[in-house]
Chain A
């Protein structure tokens, strides 16, 4: 083979696939500089006493101690917990039941789905303002029920510090359950028709089939939905701003609002960074086990 001419040298490793690399520059920059760099930056500066401007004067866990001493932060965390737990449970249950109803080969399925999903197309600001109006005690649902003769009827969650977070929950469920329903419906549709036929031949009642056969089979859909809802919960911000602005008083404050207010209004950056790092930790607690189950443990995908 000595006679063969070596017509082309091995291309430089860096130049190989050059176009793909150039095309990926925005992605690489975003991933490394913004997502990775930005996160590390925020975490690092949460250990400083930055006020109006970021400064690298480290103060250890000072900001975190102050954070967990602040009543407003404690209320925020408590609100988030209540809001989170209830919206998880309600949206999963309601979403699944609606999906199961939609899966009964009904007529007008498209119409029903369109109606249930349209709130999801709206901004949280729009949702918040509509429900602010509906829950207005002077003109809203409370006044309508009272005008029907039930004079003592009281339903004013947005003006009652004890239950204001539930008022926000109602609005959030109105906006979000349609999506959960759609995800669940897709999951139900993904189940082999033959499972239903087999259950029917075996004479298993429908509700039993759902609970003992279908729901276990939809484990993957449930987990994905759970992660989607959960990561949305942590970020809840616009809805609160629109519906209550955190009021009455500080009764409906949430962590995301705490971060924003401290970073851009109270000009206490260190507190903002510490609070946002806490949010990051919360998300990590949700995501890491899920990512491990989904992509780690033997790559077993459901």
Chain B
């Protein structure tokens, strides 16, 4: 420092003052940020374009479903309806034909409810107890069965479908809702068990020990200690199961009789039925109706859904 001062005083007497002023005049305070930098335009531009791509099909679905058939034949699919009509929705719900019958999607909807609700409850009940036993009450061989179960999650369904058909037929429940509920419970088990096992294993082990010292047994600890602490994971499991089972197609076709076909199967039969004139507006209304339940679950659950699918991505 003294060197600089010495140098400056030799050069000019006013120099130190000028330098001091220069220091004061330099950058100071918050660094200016341009909201519209090239980088930001690129990032947001890309994201907006991508978002439009993702939204486009939903938009087209809704627009098409609100148009009459004449307008569809004339106009383009992206144009909003000139004359909004809810006729296609009513028809899709109540009177669209599948080739077998003409009572629309409503039948499939109620079938799906009758399949999804018990399947979700039963599969979660069983898997949560399984996961709890695996996490806290390990017994010899438990890990082996669990490993088979997890490996099984990767086996294509097609490999196991026929043996299950035989088992269900032997039990006399092939083609019934009960049979389908069992199938959903079986195929939901690997991922749900893993989910619950990891969750329960992540809870402090000392809680479990404390409860044992307090004299609580297997079921008391499950119902009184573990359940009340595990609400989030049950919600995640429910999201996973409700969307998964609602969206299922394969099991619905294979394991039920036509009168029990779930909504997805019903929808496919309506849209892809070869008889009659194609009514695209009705088809799109039916498609939205079928997607509505999982979409509703998705938008309501938000972050939990992300957690659920991250876990459930491994599923079948």
Q: Give A residues with C-beta under 8 Å from B.
A: 16-17, 19-21, 23-24, 26-28, 30-39, 41-43, 45, 54, 98, 101-102, 104, 106, 110, 112-126, 129-134, 136, 139-141, 143-144, 147, 174, 178-179, 182-183, 186, 228, 231, 234-235, 237-238, 241-242, 245, 256, 259-260, 263-264, 269, 272-273, 275-277, 279-280, 283, 287, 291
Which residue on chain A has the smallest CB distance to residue B297? A121
> Nearest Cβ in chain B — how far from A85, in angstroms?
19
Contact with A along B60-103 (1 / 0, CB 8 A): 11001000000011001110000000000000000000000000
> Does B271 sit within 8 A of A, measured CB to CB?
yes
- A256–B311 CA distance with the chains assembled, in angstroms: 24
In the complex formed, the residue of B with least CB distance to A286 is B154
Tell me the bound Cα distance from A273 to B280 in angstroms: 38
CB-defined contacts of B223 to chain A, threshold 8 Å: none
By the criterion CB–CB under 8 Å, are B287 and A126 in contact? yes
Interface centre among A126, A263, A269, A287 (most CB of B within 10 A): A126
Q: What is the chain A residue whose CB lies nearest that of B246?
A: A123
**Known contacts A125-B267, A182-B309: A269-B130 contact under CB 8 Å:** no
Q: Which residues on B sit within 8 Å (CB–CB) of A131?
A: 57
Identify the interface centre among B158, B250, B271, B290: most chain A CB within 10 Å of its CB.
B158
Convert B278-301 into 0s and 1s, putting 1 for each residue whose CB lies closer than 8 angstroms to a CB of A.
001001100100110011011100
Please, how many angstroms separate the alpha-carbon atoms of A101 and B250 in the complex? 36
Chain A residues positioned under 8 Å from B145 (CB to CB) = 24, 27-28, 31-32
A182 to B310, alpha carbons, bound, how many Å? 8
Q: Decide if B268 touches A179 in the complex (CB within 8 Å).
A: no
How extensive is the interface on chain B, given as a class? 35 or more
As a 0/1 sequence over residues 154 to 179 of chain B, the CB contacts with chain A under 8 angstroms (1 = contact) are: 11111111111011000000000000
Q: Is the interface of B mostly helix, strand, loop or mixed?
A: helix
**Among candidates B133, B160, B253, residue contacting A38 with C-beta atoms closer than 8 Å:** B160
A123 is contacted by which of B55, B58, B249, B254 (Cβ under 8 Å)?
Answer: B249
Q: What's the least CB distance linking A130 to chain B, in Å?
A: 5
Say whether A20 contacts B158, CB under 8 Å: no
A118-B54, A129-B267, A139-B77 known; A35-B158 Cβ under 8 A? no
Query: Beyond A24-B142, A118-B295, A245-B272, is A125–B264 a contact (Cβ under 8 Å)?
Result: yes
Contacts of B64 in A (CB 8 A): 133
